Structure 1
């Protein structure tokens, strides 16, 4: 009886571990899809799945920013890794901010093409925020400060719906 119980517990733990691993792997594969497809998939997911997708896209974006020598992935993750910041809220805030910037700027070095991979799309969004700035409370923040200001804005808020 004890052996059966131990085997059952180990099986459940392995199942949960593998489920989490495959969930992350699936989210990583989704970053390779075009942005417009990624966003449609994210909207259709529940809050937890959307959070995994958003967290994964932030990790992928951080990696691309580091490869471009803009900001190290460790610094990028540190900015958005607070326990009171939802990755999905950061993604929505990024999209809203860059959409507003589109209306005020005539051109940008970082074009947003919805048919590009989701991780490339968000890389361009974060480059815009980094170089062109983030507006908050009648102030403009640029560089690393723009990312910090954005994280502060998203901090301690309830997770926003994507409706």
Structure 2
């Protein structure tokens, strides 16, 4: 009987581990889809799955930002990691901010093309925020400070719905 319980616990732990691994791999593959397709899929998922998808996009975006020598992956992770920040809220705030910027600037070095991969789309969004700035509380922040200000703004908020 004791051996059966040990085997059962091991099987359950393996199942949960593999489920998490496949969920992450699926989320990574979704970042290769066009942004317009990715956003539709994200809206249709549960809060938990949307959070996994959003976290994965942030990781992929951080990797691209590091390759472009804008900010290191570890610094990017530090800014947006924490139990008091939802990755999905960071992405919503990023989208809202960059779309507002579209209305005020005639052109940008980082065009937003919804048919590009989701990770490229968010890379361009974060580049805009980094170089063009983030406006919050009567201040405009640029560079790394813009990302920190955005994370601070999203901290301790209730998770927002994606309606």
TM over 0.5: yes
**1:136 matches 2:136:** yes
Q: Which residues of 2 match residues 1-163 of structure 1 at below 5 A?
A: 1-163=1-163
Deviation, 1:113, is 0.2
TM-score, length-scaled by structure 2 = 0.99
How many equivalent pairs are there?
163
In 1: Cα distance, 2:95 partner to 2:121 partner = 10
What runs of 5+ residues in structure 2 fail to find an aligned partner? none
Deviation, 1:141, is 0.2
In 2: Cα distance, 1:78 partner to 1:123 partner = 17
TM-score, length-scaled by structure 1 = 0.99
Deviation, 1:122, is 0.2
Q: Compute the RMSD of aligned alpha carbons.
A: 0.4
> What's the CA shift string for 1:96-154, capped at 9, x where partnerless?
00000000000000000000000000000000000000000111000000000000000
In 2: Cα distance, 1:80 partner to 1:6 partner = 38
What runs of 5+ residues in structure 1 fail to find an aligned partner? none
In 1: Cα distance, 2:83 partner to 2:149 partner = 16
In 2: Cα distance, 1:94 partner to 1:40 partner = 17
